[in-house]
Amino acid sequence: MTARILLLGGTTEALRLARRLGPETIYSLAGLGRVPDDLACRVRVGGFGGADGLAAFTASEGIELLLDLTHPYAAQISHNAARAAEIADVPCWALRRPGWQPGANDDWREVDGWDELTRALAPFERPFFTSGREPLTHLHEIPEHQHWTVRCLQAEPAPPRAEIIGARGPFSLDEERALFARLRCDVLISKNSGSASTEPKLQVARELGLPVLLLRRPQLPAVTREFAELDALCEALSLSGG
C-alpha cells in the first residue's frame, strides 16, 4: 500500500511498523518518550488539538489512512482518532493488543481508578507501581505503613518512603527477578497493557506468589478495521516479511 498514512504511535509495535514505512507516512508521537531519529518516514511530535484538530491535520496533509497504534490506555487519543477519521472521511485502522490473561494460580485483581486502587492497597506495605506516572501525583498521600516504588520513563527525586525508578522496557526475566528481590515488594500494580516487553514482571509475581492489582482497561471506540496482531496489520498494508 502506498497511501498517505498518519500513524499514531507510542508503542513498541508502532515503532516496528514505522521502521518499515516510507516518506509518505507521518509517524506521530506525543513526545513523552524517546523520539527516533533514524526513520525513513516523517516524524511529528506533539498534540493536534482534539478530534477537530486531528481531522484538520488529516485533511491538510492529504492523509488517506489513519492508523491507531497508541497504548491501550490512551483512550482519549483513540476516541479522537476515530472521530477525526469520520470528520475527514478516511478509514481508521487500529491495533487492539489483547490483554494479559491470568494463570490458574495467579492472584490478579482488577480495579477501576485511583480511589479503588488505594483501597485495595491498604493491607500492603511495599507496593511496586508499574502503571505510569499517575502515582507521582499522589506521593504526598503515602500511608505511614507503606513504602512506594514507582517505575516510569523518567526518574526524579523521591520523598521519604518512596523510590522512583526511571526505566524503559523491554525488561528481561532475570532483571525483573533481581529488582523484585531488592525491592522486597509485596504487591504489583500494573496496567493490563498486553505487551510482551513488560510481561516478565507478571512471571516474577507468579513465582513469588504476589498479588497483582490491574487497572481495568478503558473502552475504546469502534473503527473501520481492528487487528489483534501487528503481522496481520502489516499483511493488510501489503508489507512483506512482517
* Average pLDDT for 33-58: 91
Q: What is the DSSP letter of 42?
A: E
Mean local confidence (pLDDT), 178-197:
96
What value does the mean pLDDT of the chain take? 94
Pair type for strands 65-68 and 42-45:
unpaired
Indicate the pLDDT class of residue 91, thresholds 50, 70 and 90: very high
The phi and psi torsions of 44 (rounded to 5 degrees) equal -120, 135
What's the pTM value of the predicted model, to 2 decimals?
0.87
Burial string for 193-211 (b: 16+ CB within 10 Å, else e) reads bbbeebbbbbebbbeeebb
213/81 Cα distance (integer angstroms)? 29
Q: By mean pLDDT, which of 10-19, 26-35, 216-225 is the weakest?
A: 26-35
DSSP strand pairing (187-191 vs 212-215): parallel
The SS3 call for residue 212 is strand
- Structural domains in the chain plus CATH codes: 5-98+218-236 (3.40.50.720), 108-215 (3.40.50.720)
Highest mean pLDDT: which range of 40-44, 185-189, 192-196: 185-189
Task: Identify the residue whose cell numbers are 486531528.
Answer: 54
How much is the average pLDDT of 179-204? 96
**Mean pLDDT value of segment 177-189:** 98
**What is the reported pLDDT for 38?**
87
